[in-house]
Amino acid sequence: MNEKLKEYNDKMKKSFDFLKDDLASIRAGRANPHVLDKIKVDYYGTPTPIQQVGNVSVPEARIIQIAPWDKTLIKDIEKAIMMSDLGITPSNDGAVIRLVFPELTEERRKQLAKDIRKKGEDAKVAVRNVRRDGNEHLKKLKGTEVSEDEINDLNEELQKITDKFVKDIDAAVEEKNKEIMTV
């Protein structure tokens, strides 16, 4: 890949990676520890990810279990989960916290699918904005030591990179939608 295009490829990859992280945090009917990725616990005055204050496991298909290393954090972890947009009430037995994921209703599944498509569209817009920036940069090269044929080749290569990421975004959105709609 041309050095001039590597920067734009990297920016598009960041947009795609952000979408994948975002999709991983969306709760399907099954328990997925990644739904906790964005939740921070107040750990001695420092916002700390839940995965760094305890052991997170999935003992059953619809249960996430959090075993904090410091038992005094149980209330803080429960509070952080309640304050998040997860929509699940944690329960604890004094040693571990359990999050039981209910089955999603048909209406909720459709709403999530709509949200997922919107996130996919936002990611495609971000990728296309990077392409636009790249095209503008390439236009500025006219009249320099770069020939017009080279500029056209770079434009075509940039379009191929864009198409690849748009296709990857569509595939990720489709996969997540399938996961959400599976009962």
Say if residue 17 is in the same domain as residue 38: no
CATH of the domain at 68: 3.30.1360.40
Q: How confident is the model at residue 63 (pLDDT cuts 50, 70, 90)?
A: confident
What range does the domain containing 52 cover?
Answer: 33-100
Say if residue 41 is in the same domain as residue 109: no
For 15, 68, 153, 154, the CA distances from 3, given in Å and listed in that order, are 19, 47, 13, 10
Average pLDDT, the chain: 85
> Where among 42, 77, 100 does a domain terminate?
100
Say if residue 172 is in the same domain as residue 111: yes
Say if residue 95 is in the same domain as residue 109: no
Structure tokens at 141: 């090269």
CATH of the domain at 127: 1.10.132.20
Say if residue 168 is in the same domain as residue 113: yes
How many separate domains does the chain show? 2
Q: What is the rounded CA–CA span in Å between residue 66 and residue 48? A: 14
Q: pLDDT tens across 72-127, in order? A: 888 888 888 888 877 778 888 888 888 887 777 888 888 888 989 999 999 999 99
Q: How confident is the model at residue 54 (pLDDT cuts 50, 70, 90)?
A: confident
pLDDT at residue number 1: 55
